Structure 1
Amino acid sequence: MSEGSGTAVLAAVRALTPALRARAVEAEALRKVPEVSVKELAATGFFRLLQPKRFGGFAADPTVFYDAVREIAQACGSTGWVASVVGVHPWHVALYDRKAQAEVWGEHGERADTRICSSYAPTGRITAADGGFRVSGRWHFSSGCDHCAWALLGGVVTDAEGKPVDLRTFLIPRSEYGIDDVWDTTGLRGTGSNDIVVDDVFVPEHRALSFGPVTALDVPGHAVNPEPVYRLPYASLFTTAISTPITGIAQGAYDAHVTATRERFRVSYGQKVAEDPFAQVRIARAGGDIDAAWLLLRRNIADLYALAERGTELPMELRSRTRRDQVLATERCTAAVDLLMENAGGNAMRTGPHPVQRAWRDVHTGRGHAANDPERALALAGQIALGLETKDTML
């Protein structure tokens, strides 16, 4: 992807953010991103940023993708979340066998705007079959699934005795799964993170990618997609796709809060809130933590991509640092929004479209994602720093 095309997509996304912000309340009411917002984002080229050039995408520098996600999330947290997780899936499909990619996007990218959802937790039942696998079960929390035509579903493959022997991701078309509308939450209400239901579907071998080769950075898709972005670690790309919208949500809350606080008057103290030194300190702390979170996230992805461009091995220390800073970014941004809520006064807790309250609900809901478990990720980072051997698919 040329620098110019990346700049064009990012500029188009930024121009769209006022409309996305205006629809934030509608997204919560619908419990999914409005269809018009998805269509407008698709028209900017956003969903093709991490898609292979061979199949109509841009194979972009991933920092461009995350910059765009952050802009979207500042306008609407739910839209930013869906944009990030749906937008990163073309990168994963690019790791599959060429035949699987062609089934999704067309042999020459004639279906380049096809979108893919996911639910990676291995909750289904997988049975080996001649030439592939039979898949059944229910998968939860598939954000944006109503807007997608394929699904990536995680599953454990077992042997004849029922012993786990492999962890794979199964690529299944919309015609072969159902969607159960169960998403009704306090935060990230507009993400439409519903359940995917599969009833004894055959998935051929070429659409069942093992996590072993993915973690080892040695996958079939490398034979057809030479762009450096596909040499990055799955864990780094996907966990950053979870934390980046949270940094955007926090930044949007910060901007809205600072703007409102400049004019807000606190009757109980008889002063403008902007003149309260304690309010000033909370704002400063929140702003610093949000900045730190984003700068570290973006630095790590930029460092990984620079090595991939040079064809250099990606050191485990950098992969570990990326995972460490990813969970700390979520932690910092959640704490920052908590500070803003403390500063916002009782009116922020009223039922209604208060931007800081919505951000507060959204970041706490996003914090519950499995990728944002700080103790697990930080323990791994500590083990790497101490020179201990560790095996984990999320590094």
Structure 2
Amino acid sequence: MTTSASSRTLPERAAALVDLLRRNAARTEEDRRVTEENIEALADAGLFLLTVPRRFGGRQASIRTLLEVSAELGRGCGSTAWFTALVNVCGWVVGLFPERAQREVYGEGPGARVCSVLTPGGTSRAAGGGQVVTGRWPFASGCLDAQWALLGTPVTGADGEQLDRGVALVPVAELTIEDTWHSVGMRGTGSHTLVAEEVFVPGHRILSLTGALRGEYPTEFTDEALYRSAFVPVLSSVLVGPQLGMARGGLELVTASLGKGRPLSHTFFAQAREASSTQIQLAEAAQLVDTAALHLMRAADDIDTWAASGTPMPLLDRARVRMDTATVARRSREALDILLSLHGAGSFAEANPLQRLWRDQETASRHAMTNPAVASELYGRALLGVEEQITALI
């Protein structure tokens, strides 16, 4: 890392890579994985270390910093921003494990990357103080460039009864990767399927998902505020940082194109920028982007503040974070929709980066954790004090 780069804040380092990511966005999509040039640049800037404990040479940054970084990267390439955000949130999850497990991941250096599919899947059986897991876990973003994987799995007893739901930390070398990610959007995330066949996972590498949802983590380093952050709010918020970035990237591209003096087709306007309709649409899109940013940063600050306090984040606040993240996804998508209408049919030319941003945004914003209808219902129940909820993921 150069001296000038090392003096920048982490979001500034991310912003400095936007042009590179834009140049490589088509290649990332075509290869269906983040290009090696992007990965090397991100690693050199220290942007895979945001949530790695300082004890291992990581940055141990705030959740707000993580979201600011991913939003900057999203301006250049949605897939690369998504990949980076998920590597970092997986690093955060590793920081919740006992020190023994953390050392197995980072003992040789902080650069180990982790992917995840936290949805419980597959089967398990108790054996030798751990679990033997078998199953298939689709949509493991970034698995082609990860050394470890976090897999949702049942935890069973000696008689085969399910005792808990867990997250198993497994070396990718012990898994098989099936090439299954063929999508119209976010193609560069390499979100393939991980397959385990009778893989033994020792007990210290299994995190209780039930406990994590209550904010109970087995890390011995309880003084590290980052690893006291509320589980689901962190996992949901990281999904929308890249989406805000894509909306910002679209706003920048359309604003720049209007500055080149192109006409407004089928009107008397020699320059589209002079038309009131153009000005109004651009302002509406910019306001939606700003709205998304305000909700995202409120969620980030809520997570960081409660973590710093050492007090578990109340359900109402956690529900509001789910609502905020859904709002970011929806408003970012709405902003891009206006921007593409403003730019016209040319937005969908294969050579135009707007169509890639649009496809990536349309895909990413449909993640189940950012479903606006679900978020609205669970937040409404929390506001009304209704005890029965629709999901444990709050």
Q: Which amino acid aligns with 2:37?
A: V
CA contact (8 A) 2:85 2:239 kept: yes
- The residue aligned with 2:244 is 247
Q: Name stretches of at least 5 consecutive residues in structure 2 with no aligned partner.
A: none
**Post-superposition shift, 1:187?**
0.8
**Post-superposition shift, 1:43?**
1.4
Superposed CA deviations along residues 85-108 of structure 1, whole A, max 9, x for unmatched, are 1111111001111111111011xx
- The residue aligned with 2:20 is 19
- The residue aligned with 2:387 is 389
**Post-superposition shift, 1:334?**
0.9
- More displaced stretch, 182-191 vs 156-165: 156-165
**Post-superposition shift, 1:229?**
1.1
**Post-superposition shift, 1:275?**
2.3
CA contact (8 A) 1:235 1:393 kept: no
Q: Which amino acid aligns with 2:95?
A: A
CA distance, structure 2, for counterparts of residue 353 and residue 120 of structure 1? 36
* Percent sequence identity over aligned pairs: 35
Alignment of 1:218-367 (within 5 A): 218-221=216-219, 223-224=220-221, 226-262=223-259, 263-271=261-269, 272-350=271-349, 352-367=350-365
- The residue aligned with 1:104 is 105
CA distance, structure 2, for counterparts of residue 264 and residue 124 of structure 1? 55
- The residue aligned with 1:178 is 176
> SS at the partner of 2:72?
helix
**Post-superposition shift, 1:212?**
1.6
CA distance, structure 2, for counterparts of residue 161 and residue 277 of structure 1? 71
Give the root-mean-square deviation of aligned CA atoms. 1.9
CA distance, structure 2, for counterparts of residue 90 and residue 373 of structure 1? 25
- The residue aligned with 1:78 is 79
Q: Which amino acid aligns with 2:218?
A: P
Q: Evaluate the alpha carbon distance shift between residue 375 and residue 267 of structure 1 in structure 2; reply closer, same or farther with a 3 A threshold.
A: closer
CA contact (8 A) 1:54 1:225 kept: no
- The residue aligned with 1:157 is 155
Q: Evaluate the alpha carbon distance shift between residue 136 and residue 157 of structure 1 in structure 2; reply closer, same or farther with a 3 A threshold.
A: same
CA contact (8 A) 2:120 2:151 kept: yes
Superposed CA deviations along residues 22-67 of structure 1, whole A, max 9, x for unmatched, are 1111111111100121121111111111111122212112211111
CA distance, structure 2, for counterparts of residue 320 and residue 196 of structure 1? 31
**Post-superposition shift, 1:78?**
0.8
**Post-superposition shift, 1:140?**
0.7
**Post-superposition shift, 1:266?**
2.6
CA contact (8 A) 2:230 2:307 kept: no
CA contact (8 A) 1:144 1:191 kept: yes
CA distance, structure 1, for counterparts of residue 129 and residue 311 of structure 2? 36
**Post-superposition shift, 1:390?**
4.1
- More displaced stretch, 268-277 vs 379-388: 268-277
CA contact (8 A) 1:177 1:196 kept: yes
Match of 1:196 among 190, 194, 197: 194
**Post-superposition shift, 1:237?**
0.9
CA distance, structure 1, for counterparts of residue 380 and residue 124 of structure 2? 34
Q: Evaluate the alpha carbon distance shift between residue 5 and residue 389 of structure 1 in structure 2; reply closer, same or farther with a 3 A threshold.
A: farther
CA distance, structure 2, for counterparts of residue 165 and residue 376 of structure 1? 28
CA contact (8 A) 1:211 1:393 kept: no
**Post-superposition shift, 1:162?**
6.8
Superposed CA deviations along residues 70-92 of structure 1, whole A, max 9, x for unmatched, are 11111111111111111111110
CA contact (8 A) 1:384 1:390 kept: no
- The residue aligned with 1:9 is 10
**Post-superposition shift, 1:156?**
2.6
**Post-superposition shift, 1:133?**
0.7
CA distance, structure 2, for counterparts of residue 132 and residue 163 of structure 1? 14
Superposed CA deviations along residues 177-236 of structure 1, whole A, max 9, x for unmatched, are 011122221111111111111111011111111112211212111x13521111111111
- The residue aligned with 2:125 is 127
Alignment of 1:23-62 (within 5 A): 23-62=24-63
CA distance, structure 1, for counterparts of residue 319 and residue 388 of structure 2? 11
CA distance, structure 2, for counterparts of residue 158 and residue 104 of structure 1? 25
CA distance, structure 2, for counterparts of residue 133 and residue 122 of structure 1? 14
CA distance, structure 1, for counterparts of residue 364 and residue 160 of structure 2? 34
> SS at the partner of 1:179?
strand
CA contact (8 A) 1:94 1:225 kept: no
CA distance, structure 1, for counterparts of residue 223 and residue 44 of structure 2? 26
**Post-superposition shift, 1:130?**
3.0
What TM-score, normalized to structure 1?
0.93
Match of 2:141 among 97, 121, 143: 143
Q: Evaluate the alpha carbon distance shift between residue 181 and residue 8 of structure 1 in structure 2; reply closer, same or farther with a 3 A threshold.
A: same
CA contact (8 A) 2:222 2:228 kept: no
CA distance, structure 2, for counterparts of residue 120 and residue 312 of structure 1? 25
Q: Which amino acid aligns with 1:121?
A: T
CA contact (8 A) 1:77 1:245 kept: yes
Q: Name stretches of at least 5 consecutive residues in structure 1 with no aligned partner.
A: none
